[in-house]
């Protein structure tokens, strides 16, 4: 009898543990995950020229714009004060495309559509070079890193020489490029100074 009672209590404990383990396991969220908008990508601001509710502005936007036809990704649409609607896209190119399309669809000229000016993200890297040529370093980064395009907004702003022929290079770039830099987390940056050495050798040979 005592054994039977102990066995029943053990079964109750096991059932309690199994229920607790299931209850403590977080359920999968049914809410769809929204696409992430990278930092420093300016939103599109759609502002009515005459006073109206932001819901009216949003309704006009939805009636005139079809993201699938434009082949763009709209991450969020938010209402603000004075009837303004704020639209976030995944990239600057998509924001520009959306802005242009809204302006084309706004045949009555009811809205002012613009991208706010945002500060460019800044970066710094340590390079094995004594070069102080900003354009040369910028070209080097574009040539040696496939994810940096020739038309990307990339500017070297300052070069600080340090020991052992190395330099700290400071720069700024577009929000799109900064997002790619953070995604890859690796950057090839080697300045080849063979051309300068060859020039020195030619000068020495010509002087003899």
Is 164 within the bounds of a domain? Answer: yes
Whether residue 130 is found in the same domain as residue 94: no
Tell me what the mean pLDDT of segment 74-96 comes to: 90
Q: Which residues constitute the domain of residue 143?
A: 122-192
Q: Are strands 44-48 and 122-127 parallel, antiparallel or unpaired?
A: unpaired
Query: Tell me: the pLDDT tens digits for 17-53?
Result: 333 333 333 433 333 334 455 566 789 999 999 989 9
Whether residue 48 is found in the same domain as residue 106: yes
Whether residue 110 is found in the same domain as residue 131: no
- Within 10 angstroms of residue 168's Cβ, the number of other Cβ atoms is 13
Whether residue 129 is found in the same domain as residue 177: yes
Instruction: Take residue 54 and report the two structure tokens written for it.
Output: 């932001």
Q: Report the share of the chain in percent with pLDDT over 70.
A: 71
Position 144 scores a pLDDT of 84
Tell me what the mean pLDDT of segment 51-60 comes to: 92
Tell me what the mean pLDDT of segment 143-151 comes to: 86
pTM of the model: 0.49
Domain count, the chain: 2
Q: Enumerate long-range contacts of 96-102, CB under 8 Å, 24 or more apart.
A: 97/70, 97/72, 98/44, 98/65, 98/70, 98/72, 98/74, 99/44, 101/65, 101/70, 102/44, 102/46, 102/61, 102/64, 102/65
Tell which of 64, 98, 114 closes a domain: 114
Position 125 scores a pLDDT of 83
Position 87 scores a pLDDT of 93
Whether residue 129 is found in the same domain as residue 96: no
């Amino acid at each position: 009898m005592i054994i039977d009672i102990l066995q029943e209590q053990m079964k109750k404990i096991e059932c309690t543990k199994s229920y607790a383990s299931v209850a403590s396991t977080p359920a999968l969220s049914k809410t769809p995950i929204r696409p992430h908008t990278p930092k420093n990508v300016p939103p599109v601001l759609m502002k009515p020229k005459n006073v109206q509710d932001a819901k009216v502005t949003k309704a006009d936007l939805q009636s005139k714009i079809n993201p699938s036809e434009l082949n763009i990704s709209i991450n969020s649409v938010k209402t603000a004060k004075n009837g303004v609607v704020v639209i976030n896209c995944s990239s600057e190119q998509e924001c520009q495309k959306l802005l242009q399309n809204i302006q084309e669809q706004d045949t009555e000229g009811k809205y002012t559509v613009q991208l706010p000016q945002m500060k460019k993200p800044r970066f710094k890297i340590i390079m094995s070079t004594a070069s102080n040529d900003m354009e040369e370093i910028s070209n080097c980064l574009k040539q040696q890193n496939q994810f940096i395009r020739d038309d990307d907004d990339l500017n070297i702003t300052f070069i600080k020489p340090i020991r052992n022929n190395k330099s700290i290079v400071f720069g700024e770039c577009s929000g799109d490029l900064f997002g790619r830099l953070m995604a890859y987390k690796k950057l090839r940056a080697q300045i080849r100074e063979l051309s300068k050495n060859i020039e020195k050798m030619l000068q020495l040979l010509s002087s003899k």
